[in-house]
Each structure stands twice: as structure tokens, then as C-alpha cells.
Amino acid sequence: MRFIEIKNCYKVYKNGVAAIADLTLNINKGEFIFVIGASGSGKSTLIKMLYREEKPTKGTVEIGGINVGKLRNRTVYKLRRKLGIVFQDFKLLPKLTVYENVAFALECLGMKGSEIRPKVIKALDHVGLKDKIRSFPGELSGGEQQRVCIARAIVNNPKLLICDEPTGNLDPKTSKGIMEVLENINKELGTTIIMATHDKEIVNRMKKRVIVLEDGLLAEDHEKGSYKASESI
Amino acid sequence: MRKEVIKRVKAFRILGRSIRDSFKSVFRNFSLSIASILCTTITLILVAIAIVISANVNHITKDMEEELTIVVYANADTSDEQLKQIENEIKEISEVASVVAKSKEEWRLEMKSYSETLNTTLEYLEENPLLDSFIVTVNDAEDLRPVALEIREMNNIESANYGEGMVEDIISVFDIIQTVTLVMVIALIVVTAFLISNTIKLTIFSRRSEIEIMRLVGSSNTSIKLPFVFEGFLLGILGSIIPIIIMIYGYLIMYEQISNSSSFSIIELISPMPFILITSITLLLIGSLVGMFGSARAVRKYLKI
Ligand SMILES: Nc1ncnc2c1ncn2[C@@H]1O[C@H](COP(=O)(O)OP(=O)(O)OP(=O)(O)O)[C@@H](O)[C@H]1O
Ligand SMILES: [Mg+2]
């Protein structure tokens, strides 16, 4: 079942940089897909167009039948509620506990405390952090902080999880743990996951679909691909 | 139906959160909040003074303006026909509100009633020594002089006099006072709005990561803006408390003093009861509106949504 449909998509920034050029890409429900490419090849730009931080200059980006590029600024929040987003820098609130950080996402949507609680516990359980509920982000390791972010991203049961270099700040062992968490989410919850990364090892080990971007162009698209298939990078 | 209800409940919860956040924020940026509140306080004290002064000045000048009259005397030997003509001519002047003829006979009767001596003196005289006259009223204090001058130019006029300067001077001084206070108050309101806007800007800045996350997890723009608008509102309300108290007590004391003092007996202030209530509400409204306006400006400028 087709979930994301990107058609002849271009992104030219205001300063004239063409970050994405003529990209056509389809992603099915439940897929786990890596987006790789050299620095500046347009990975983050593609991710940003998915959560409508940037609008495509030309062409369409559709998620679940919604033309994302056509959304008005005022209604973007409706899309965001159906997505989970994870970044390299964790974007946690330092003055809130782990629990509060995850609950924050639901409070923003106006849910009530008793409704929030089981969802937060479940999400934290999924990332293996149930016993750190009362810790503050400053008391956690990088890997643990990223798990909190993932819990926050999945707490509202999104259909799509978007990750921009989630392991970029982590050592290989910690990264492996994060990838296990993501794979679990993909398998158990059926969440579609798109992840931009630089990490060779991860891509080679996971044997998932790999999209390779080169100067904004779609260079390669492999089922069960790996970094080896694109030695040029 | 059920979905609608849930939606409304959620909206209320977000509203509650916004109010809570705005209170928290006022305390978090305490020094800047205090600065905004103080600025609002000073502004509103001046606004209160301006309102009290101008309302009372209006009240007093209204009294005065009711006496905007010119007394016109005709020459001694003017015939009844000529008198009629003078009356018509005066009526034709556009600034004139009313003309009442008062004959020398009427004057005589009035004067007789003033005192016994006058009575006997007038009885004693064969001819009525008084003059036929007209009491002319005008609409505006500024019209007194030109209308009087115009009447003096007419035929058979002995004199046309009015409060000669006194009333005009007082009213024009009051006009100047009103204009100056109005300009000052507007300037201060603008300054206050800017200061509140700056306070909100700092709040926005200190909460930028929170705002970023709110946007990522799908908070609507309204629910992101709401706490800041509330904060401005709150600053405005807090800033209007002291001015309202000062105004109420100040006015009551002043009213008491003036109405009990003999030297001010000509001045009569507006009675306090509906007046201080209306002024309090006005101050509260100005404070909260300035606060919300300031925060709306900051939100528009620094939130970029
Ligand atoms: N906001 C922006 N304004 C102008 N140019 C931009 C903007 N964001 C990115 N670019 C440019 O677009 C191109 C693609 O950037 P992008 O961030 O998508 O690359 P990336 O593949 O994510 O790189 P990295 O691996 O370093 O994160 C780059 O040349 C970059 O300089
Ligand atoms: Mg990037």
C-alpha cells in the first residue's frame, strides 16, 4: 500500500541552492528506509519537506493522500500530529523530567493527565527507559536521551517516524541500541520509518531499502541495499 | 457530537495551560515583568489624572458655557420698529443661539425688586432712565468676541458686552491642558506597549526551544500564541491595579476637600459614584488592551507563525 508519494520534486532555496532536483519516490506503509548521501546532498532537505518545514519549489509530496506542500501554515499542525520526528540534537527540555518531556507532546494537544499517563509509560517501555522516568535529561547518557526523543516521537502513535541522523552524536555501540529500538517500533507497531544517516555500519547491517542522493538527485534506490552498493560515497 | 464535545474540552485544557504558563512566565522573567508593570502603572496613573482633569474640566466648562451670553443695549431713543429690526438682524448671525428682548420696563421692574432704595429712586424719576436690551447667547466660547463685535457695528447700538476675556481665557487654558495631557498619554501608551512587547519578546526567546518542540509535535498556532497574549494581558492588568486604587482614593479625598472648602465653592466636581467606577473600568481596559497589543506585536514579530 502506497503511503508516501514524491513526484518530480524540486527544492531550490532562496539563495539559489538547488538542494533536491527532480526526485520521484514511492514509499509503502510499514517500510523502513534509509536515505544516505554525502554531506550537502539534500538528505535533510528531503526530510524537512516531509514534515513541511520546507515546501517543494516544484512537484508534489504526498503523505497518506495529503499534499503536504499545499498545506497552509495554519494547518501544518494537523500533519505534524500524525508524524514523529527525531533529530541528531535531541531537543529535550532540560527542566522537565523524562516523563514530562514525553508527556509534553500530548499536553500540547490538550489531552488530559489520566489519558496521557498510560501512553507515556507505554512509549517509554518501548524504548527501554521505564526505570528512568524521574530523571532529568542532564542525568542521562546520549543514547538514553535519544531514546527519550524516540519515545516522545511515537507517543501519539504516528504512522510515520522521520529521523534525521538520530545516531549522529552517538558511539557505535549506543547507535546499535538505538537502531534496535527503531527496528522494534517498525516491526511491532508497523510504523513507517524514514531515516537519513551517514553511518555506514548501520546501513550495511540492517539490510533495508536504501535511497542514495547525490547533489540532490536520486542516484540509487536499492531493496535490501547497503553502503557497498554505492562505493562512490 | 461526542467528538465536538471532546474537542471543546481539549480547547479548554489548552486554554488552562496557556493561562498557567503565562503566570509562570511573569514570575520567571521577574525583573522585566516588574519593569513593564511599573511602566504600565505610571502610564495609567497619568491616564487617570488626565481622565479626572478633563472630565471635570468638561463638567465645569459646560456650566460656564451655559452662560455664554452677550448683553446688548440699544440707544436711548430707539423706536419700537428699530428694536424689532435689531432683534431680527441679531437672529440672522449664524453663531447666535438665541435672542431674548428685554425692554427697559422689564429692567425697571427687575431692578425695583433688588432693593428698596433703587425702588424709590426709580419711582421718583419720570422717564425710565434704563435702556432697551437683548440677551444674546452663542454656541461656543470662541464666538463671543466676533458676535459682540458684529453687533456693535449695527445701527442704534449703545453697547454689546460679554464676560470680556475671562470666560474665553479659562476655556482656552482648559483646552490646552486637555490637548497636552492627551498627547502625553498617547506617547506613554506607545512606550508602554513597546516595553510590554519587549518583555514578551524575552519570554519568547527564553522559551524558543519549547516553542520549537511544540511546533514539531503539532501544537496549533493559536495554542502556541495564547500564553504570550495572556502574559501581555496579565502584565496590563497587574499594571492597572495601583492606578485604580490611587484614582479611587485620590478622587474621593479631593471631592471631599473641595466640596467642604469655602474658597472653592464655585467649582463643583463630578459626583464620585458612577464616575470612579467608569474610570476604573476604563483604566483596566486600557491596561489590558495595551498589554495584549504589545504582546501581539511581539508574537507577530518574533514567533514567525
Ligand atoms: N535553509 C537553507 N537555505 C539555503 N540553503 C540551504 C538551506 N538548508 C540547506 N541548504 C543547502 O542545501 C544543500 C543540501 O542541504 P542538506 O542540509 O539537505 O544536506 P544534507 O544531505 O542533510 O547534509 P548533511 O549530511 O551535512 O546533513 C546544501 O548545499 C545546503 O547548503
Ligand atoms: Mg542533514
CB distance A69 to A60 below 8 Å: yes
Strand partners, A12: A18
Give the pLDDT of residue B43: 84
What is the spatial distance between Cα A120 and Cα A100, in angstroms, rounded to a whole number? 9
In the reported structure, the alpha carbon of residue A74 is separated from the centroid of ligand 2 by a whole-number distance in angstroms of 26
Q: Tell me if A41 CB under 6 Å of ligand 1.
A: yes
Containing A196, the helix (H) or strand (E) segment is: strand A192-196
- Give contacts of A79 with chain B, Cβ < 8 Å: 218
Check pocket membership of A23 for ligand 1, CB cut-off 6 A: no
More confident residue, B160 or B289: B289
A93 closest CB neighbour out of B213, B216, B220: B213
Q: How far is the CA of B210 from the centre of ligand 1 (A)?
A: 24
Residues pairing with A36 in the sheet: A212
If you compute the radius of gyration of chain A from its CA atoms, what whole number of angstroms results?
A: 17
Running along chain A, 233 residues long, what does each successive block of 10 average in pLDDT? 91 94 93 93 95 93 92 90 93 92 91 91 93 94 95 95 93 92 94 92 90 90 69 50
| Residue B61, Cβ density class (10 Å: 0-12 exposed, 13-18 middle, ≥19 buried) | middle
Q: How many interchain CB pairs under 8 A, A with B?
A: 57
Q: Three-class SS of residue A109? A: coil
Q: Is residue A71 less than 8 Å (CB to CB) from chain B?
A: no
CB contact under 8 A, A109 and B218: yes
**Pair B99, B89: CB distance under 8 Å:** no
pLDDT at B92 over 80: yes
Contact assignment for A91 to B212 by CB distance below 8 Å? yes
Beta bridge partners of A195: A34, A163
Q: Are B150 and B89 in contact (CB under 8 A)?
A: no
Predicted confidence band of residue B285 (pLDDT cuts 50, 70, 90): very high
Q: Tell me the CATH number of domain A1-82+159-166+192-233, given options 3.20.20.100, 3.40.50.300, 1.10.150.240, 3.20.20.140.
A: 3.40.50.300
- Is the C-beta atom of A77 inside 6 A of ligand 1? no
If you count them, how many residues does chain B have? 305
Chain mean pLDDT for chain B: 81
Query: Chain-wide mean pLDDT for chain A?
Result: 91
pLDDT at position B265, please?
A: 59
Identify the pLDDT of residue A42: 93
Q: Bridge-partner residues for B73, per DSSP? A: B133, B159
CATH of domain B69-161: 3.30.70.3040
Hey, are the CB atoms on B13 and A108 less than 8 Å from each other? no
Neighbours of A105 (CB within 10 A): 27
Identify the three-state secondary structure at position B233: helix
DSSP assignments along A29-50, one per residue: TT-EEEEEESTTSSHHHHHHHH
Angle between helix A113-126 and A142-154 (nearest 10): 130
ipTM of the complex: 0.89
pLDDT digits (tens, 9 = 90+) for B7-26: 777 788 888 887 887 777 77
Contact check, Cβ <8 Å, A80/B215: yes
Chain A CB contacts of B217 under 8 Å are 80-81, 104-105, 108-109, 152, 156
Strand A2-12 versus strand A58-63 pairing type: antiparallel
Buried b or exposed e, range B161-174, using 16+ CB within 10 angstroms: ebbeeebbebbeeb
Of the listed ranges A145-159, A175-189, B47-61, B236-250, the one predicted with least confidence: B47-61
Strands (E) across chain B are located at: 69-74, 96-102, 133-138, 157-161
Q: Identify residue B207 by its one-letter amino acid code.
A: R
Q: Which residues of A touch B10 (CB under 8 A)?
A: 109-111
Q: Do A110 and B214 touch (CB under 8 A)?
A: no
Residues A157, A119: Cα–Cα separation, whole Å: 9
Residue A121 buriedness (CB in 10 A; 0-12 / 13-18 / 19+): middle
**CA B235 to the chain's CA centroid:** 25
- List the one residue out of B25, B10, B21, B214 whose CA is nearest residue A104: B214
Q: Can you say how many angstroms the Cα of residue B86 is from the centroid of all Cα atoms in its chain?
A: 40
Q: Tell me the pLDDT band of B263, cut-offs 50, 70 and 90.
A: low
**Residues written for chain A:** 233
Residue B176 confidence (pLDDT): 82
Give the closest of B14, B212, B218 to A81, CB-based.
B218
CA angle A66, B305, B22 (to 5 degrees): 120
Kind of pairing, strands A160-164 and A2-12?
unpaired
Cα-to-centroid distance, A20 and ligand 2 (Å): 13
State the Cα–Cα distance between residues B271 and B56, nearest whole angstrom: 10
Q: Hey, is the C-beta of B305 within 8 angstroms of any chain A C-beta?
A: yes
B217 at interface of A, judged by CB pairs closer than 8 A: yes
Asked if residues A29 and A192 have their Cβ atoms less than 8 Å apart, the reply is: yes
Contact with chain B for residue A207, Cβ under 8 A = no
DSSP A8: E
User: Do A93 and B210 make contact, defined as CB atoms within 8 angstroms?
Assistant: yes
DSSP string, A146-191: HHHHHHHHHTT--SEEEEESTTTTS-HHHHHHHHHHHHHHHHHT--
Protein residue whose Cα sits closest to atom 4 of ligand 1: A13
Residue in chain B nearest A72 by alpha carbon: B305
HSE, side-chain direction, 13 A CA sphere, residue A180: 10
- Answer yes or no: is the C-beta of A45 below 6 A from any ligand 1 atom: yes
Mean pLDDT of B91-109: 82
Helix (H, G, I), strand (E, B) or coil at B295: helix
Would the CB atoms of A112 and B11 count as touching at under 8 Å? no
- Hey, what's the cell of A228? 557497498
Which pLDDT value is given to residue B167? 63
DSSP annotation of B19: H
Ranges of each domain in chain B: 16-64+170-302, 69-161
Task: Spell out which residues have Cβ within 5 A of ligand 2, the ion.
Answer: A 44
In this prediction, residue B164 has a pLDDT band, given cuts at 50, 70 and 90, of low
Which chain B residue is nearest to residue A93, measuring alpha carbons? B210
Q: Is the CB of A53 under 6 A from ligand 1?
A: no
Which helix (H) or strand (E) segment is B298 a member of?
A: helix B272-302
Cα torsion through A102, A103, A104, A107, rounded to 10: 150
**Stretch B184-211: mean pLDDT, rounded?**
83
Q: B33 or A19, which is more confident?
A: A19
Read off the pLDDT of each residue in B56-76 and give the average, rounded to a whole number: 76
> Is B59 exposed, middle or buried (CB count within 10 Å of its CB: 0-12, 13-18, 19+)?
middle
E strand or H helix that includes residue A203: helix A200-206
Q: Is the pTM of this model over 0.90?
A: no
Q: Of A1, A9, A6, give the one whose Cα is nearest residue A31.
A: A1
State how far the Cα of B287 lies from the Cα of B294, in Å rounded to an integer.
11
Q: Show Cβ contacts of residue A93 under 8 Å, excluding neighbours closer than 6 positions.
A: A100, A101, A104, A137, B209, B210, B213
Query: A13 CB less than 6 Å from ligand 1?
Result: yes
Determine the residue of chain A that is closest to B214 in CA distance. A108
Cross-strand bridge partners of residue B157: B74
CA distance A108 to chain B (A): 6
Alpha carbon of residue A63 to chain centroid: 14
Reduce the DSSP state of residue A84 to 3 states and report it.
Answer: strand
The residues spanned by each domain of chain A are: 1-82+159-166+192-233
